[in-house]
Amino acid sequence: MSRQRRLLAREAAHLAPGASEEAALGQRVFVAGSGSTLTDADGNRYLDFAAGTLTQSIGHCHPEVVTALADQAGRLWNVHDSATADRAALCELLATLLPAELDTYAFFTTGAEVVEAALRVVAAVAAPGRNRVGALRHGFHGKTLGARMLVHWDIGHQSFAGNSILGYSPYCYRCPLGLRYPSCETRCADLVVRHIADKPQVSALIFEPVLGAAGVIVPPPGYWDKIARACRDSGVLLVADEVATGGGRTGAFLACSWLGIEPDLVLLAKGLASGFPFAVLAGRSQVLRGPEGAAAGSTASTFGGNPLGIAAALATLTVIDRDGLIARVPGLAAAMRAGLDDLHERHPMIGEVRGAGLLFGLEIVHDRDSRQPAPELAGQVYRAGLDLGLRTAMGGHILRLAPPFTTTADELDEGLRLLDRALSLVEAGGR
Ligand SMILES: Cc1ncc(COP(=O)(O)O)c(C=O)c1O
């Protein structure tokens, strides 16, 4: 029996069910990561085109992050939310990376935690009677109760709709209105705008600018212009959940900047600290420093902004900034797009390829006419990819690809070649 099998069998006796589809299907035990490559317990190597879980923007175990964490680990781990030597430096660096108006920050640990923090701010600053929040269909914001209130699709448990109001996301491939872009003139956005106008109780719209978990749903031109203008006109705060997209994934530090949205609050996590749990709430000072939003203790938590997280984030963002890594994203993305378009031409099970910078979603379908989702085929491609040495991300019928920004041209070609083989194997019924 392989070492991986033995390890999996040992933990299976005790481990609660509820793993991600990726972990459950993959059945891998990883022991090491370096750059774009992972190694499992049997010595097999993988190109990691999931970048951890969108966390490894500068690859696995970047030497400067390892050194920063090791140094910090020998010095100081937790002093609640007291100031530490690096915190000021991180604030200053964030101020250079984010749009000038987003100049105030609070530090947390996970995506869901920072979503909850944003909800607390929204509740605190909302005018009397504005006691509801808007969210988008197909959005994903985490699994804590406040975040679940914004998620209206089944994420493995019952959805829990709570006190939020939903608008249409720009899911053109499966348009709920049965329309086609551009002749639709982004009617989905018009309906969100109408919602905002009709519902004066709405205090904020909490949204993913590009909807990641639902399959990299990329808004067409015009969608956000209309909605952002309506929010501004109605005094509805724009709260951008950039947990997945923030930190350069789309080719700009924020997907909002890439799309021309000027948010009031932004939530960042995955790509900030090379996989160390770390999240940032960034906002306009008039929102975060106002008397309502700044209650004592409102930004403190046991692990929020701990010195190790700050060290990992400071080192990661320093590397991204100094090495101009975000500037690499458009070139890599164009090469990847060309390769994926070629796969789309040759593999009918790929219904559509969507991309925003180095974040791609592939619709896996039974046939292109019906567009019927094919989650079992997606699972087979995912598994075949792993067996060949390519790690992707998947959920339902969507395959996602998001390699590190440091991926080389050769690694990109190799990953696409492995994906091609995985698709061919599944088509041939070999999986
Ligand atoms: C957009 C978005 N928001 C929030 C979350 C929740 O983050 P976490 O898993 O760190 O709680 C995720 C996780 O995938 C996400 O993609």
- The CATH number of residue 283's host domain is 3.40.640.10
Q: Tell me what pLDDT residue 290 has.
A: 83
Pair of tokens at residue 343: 């796969």
For 193-237, the pLDDT digits (tens) are 998 888 888 999 999 999 999 999 999 999 999 999 999 999 999
Averaged pLDDT, 177-206: 93
Same domain (yes/no): 257, 366 = no
pLDDT bin (cut points 50, 70, 90) of residue 161 is low
Query: Which of 392-419 are b and which e, b meaning 16 or more Cβ less than 10 Å from the residue's Cβ?
Result: bbbbbbbbbbbbbbbbeeebbebbbebb
Q: Whose CA is nearest to atom 4 of ligand 1?
A: 141
Q: Tell me what pLDDT residue 411 has.
A: 98
Residue 122 alpha carbon to ligand 1 centre in Å: 19
**Alpha helix locations (H) across 74-186?**
85-97, 111-125, 145-149
Same domain (yes/no): 289, 359 = no
Same domain (yes/no): 331, 318 = no
Same domain (yes/no): 90, 233 = yes
Averaged pLDDT, 326-331: 98
Q: Tell me what pLDDT residue 157 has.
A: 45
Domain assignment present for residue 115? The answer is yes
Is it the case that residue 156 has pLDDT exceeding 70?
A: no
Pocket mutation for ligand 1, best pick of 140, 143, 216, 276 (most atoms within 8 Å of C-beta) = 140
Specify whether the CB–CB gap between 36 and 407 falls below 8 A: yes
Atom of ligand 1 nearest to the CA of 211: 1
Averaged pLDDT, 123-130: 90
- 24 closest CA partner among 32, 33, 15, 14: 15
pTM of this structure: 0.97
Query: Which of 245-255 are b and which e, b meaning 16 or more Cβ less than 10 Å from the residue's Cβ?
Result: bbbbbbbbbbb
For 281-317, the pLDDT digits (tens) are 999 999 999 877 677 888 999 999 999 999 999 999 9
Residue 213 alpha carbon to ligand 1 centre in Å: 9
Residue 349 alpha carbon to ligand 1 centre in Å: 28
Domain assignment present for residue 312? The answer is yes
Residue 43 alpha carbon to ligand 1 centre in Å: 31
Rounded to an integer, what distance in angstroms lies between the CA atom of residue 33 and that of residue 174? 37
According to DSSP, the residues that pair with 237 across neighbouring strands are: 204
Q: Which residues contact 132 (CB under 8 A, 6 or more apart)?
A: 163, 164, 165, 199, 201, 202, 203
For 372-409, the pLDDT digits (tens) are 999 999 999 999 999 999 999 999 999 999 999 999 99
- Angle formed by the axes of helices 307-322 and 85-97, nearest 10°: 40
Atom of ligand 1 nearest to the CA of 53: 14
Question: Measuring from each residue's beta carbon to the nearest atom of ligand 1, which residues come in under 6 Å?
Answer: 110-112, 115, 140-142, 208, 212-213, 241, 243-244, 269
Same domain (yes/no): 227, 108 = yes
Same domain (yes/no): 280, 261 = yes
Question: Considering 300, 322, 344, which residue would you say is the last residue of a domain?
Answer: 322
Q: Tell me what pLDDT residue 152 has.
A: 63
CATH code for position 47: 3.90.1150.10
Give the H/E segment covering residue 351: strand 350-356
Same domain (yes/no): 289, 196 = yes
Rounded to an integer, what distance in angstroms lies between the CA atom of residue 14 and that of residue 25? 18
Atom of ligand 1 nearest to the CA of 267: 3
- 261 closest CA partner among 288, 287, 230: 230
Question: Considering 269, 291, 322, which residue would you say is the last residue of a domain?
Answer: 322
Residue 404 alpha carbon to ligand 1 centre in Å: 18
Q: Tell me what pLDDT residue 159 has.
A: 47
Rounded to an integer, what distance in angstroms lies between the CA atom of residue 426 and that of residue 431? 5
Same domain (yes/no): 158, 83 = yes
Same domain (yes/no): 246, 190 = yes
Same domain (yes/no): 207, 227 = yes
Q: Which residues contact 120 (CB under 8 A, 6 or more apart)?
A: 298
Domain assignment present for residue 68? The answer is no
Q: Which residues contact 239 (CB under 8 A, 6 or more apart)?
A: 118, 122, 204, 205, 206, 207, 263, 264, 265, 266, 267
Q: Whose CA is nearest to atom 2 of ligand 1?
A: 141
Q: Average model confidence (pLDDT) for the chain?
A: 94
Residues in the chain: 431
Averaged pLDDT, 31-58: 98
Specify whether the CB–CB gap between 340 and 332 falls below 8 A: no
Residue 140 alpha carbon to ligand 1 centre in Å: 7
Atom of ligand 1 nearest to the CA of 112: 11
Q: Tell me what pLDDT residue 244 has.
A: 98
Rounded to an integer, what distance in angstroms lies between the CA atom of residue 112 and that of residue 95? 23
- 213 closest CA partner among 175, 179, 169: 169
Pair of tokens at residue 82: 């007291």
Specify whether the CB–CB gap between 242 and 256 falls below 8 A: yes
Pocket mutation for ligand 1, best pick of 116, 141, 153 (most atoms within 8 Å of C-beta) = 141
Residue 115 alpha carbon to ligand 1 centre in Å: 8
Specify whether the CB–CB gap between 362 and 401 falls below 8 A: yes
Q: Which range marks the domain in which residue 223 is found?
A: 76-322
Q: How many CB atoms lie within 10 A of CB 290?
A: 13
Domain assignment present for residue 67? The answer is no
Rounded to an integer, what distance in angstroms lies between the CA atom of residue 203 and that of residue 294? 18
Amino acid 89 reads A
φ, ψ (nearest 5 deg) of residue 166: -100, 145
Rounded to an integer, what distance in angstroms lies between the CA atom of residue 125 and that of residue 290? 8
Q: Tell me what pLDDT residue 131 has.
A: 87
Atom of ligand 1 nearest to the CA of 139: 1
For 61-108, the pLDDT digits (tens) are 999 999 999 999 999 999 999 999 899 999 999 999 999 999 999 999
Same domain (yes/no): 33, 83 = no
Domain assignment present for residue 132? The answer is yes
